[in-house]
Amino acid sequence: MNFSNTLRRLLQDRNWRQADLCRITGIQTSLISDYLRGKKSPTIGNAILIADALNVSLDELVGKEESAHEKDEIFREICAAAAELSDDGRRLLLDIARTMTAYLH
């Protein structure tokens, strides 16, 4: 996901308008508008202001890290899939998850 799409989604998730972000960050309306349309990318200083205002990491803001919303959705999908498994299937899924966690850390 690119910066403009990520920024648009983050604003939507919070029910914020562009004006809210401008007021909180002090960034000009025209500049935020350019970010949202993908016409410009923010300076590192403005990106930090935006990330702080939205309470997200810079990685999340630029689309390099999954958002909490995306993580929650993945978790819900895993739970829904697990609910349809037998007890043995859920145990196997848990064993796989534990093995993956040990392997990835």
User: What is the rounded distance in angstroms from the CA atom of residue 11 to the CA atom of residue 6?
Assistant: 9
3-state secondary structure of 26: coil
pLDDT in tens, 85-102: 898 988 898 889 889 888
Q: What pTM, to 2 d.p., does this model score?
A: 0.63
- What Å distances lie between residue 72 and 67, 69, 75, 76, 77, CA to CA? 9, 5, 5, 6, 9
User: What is the rounded distance in angstroms from the CA atom of residue 25 to the CA atom of residue 45?
Assistant: 11
pLDDT in tens, 52-88: 999 988 888 887 766 566 667 777 788 788 888 898 9
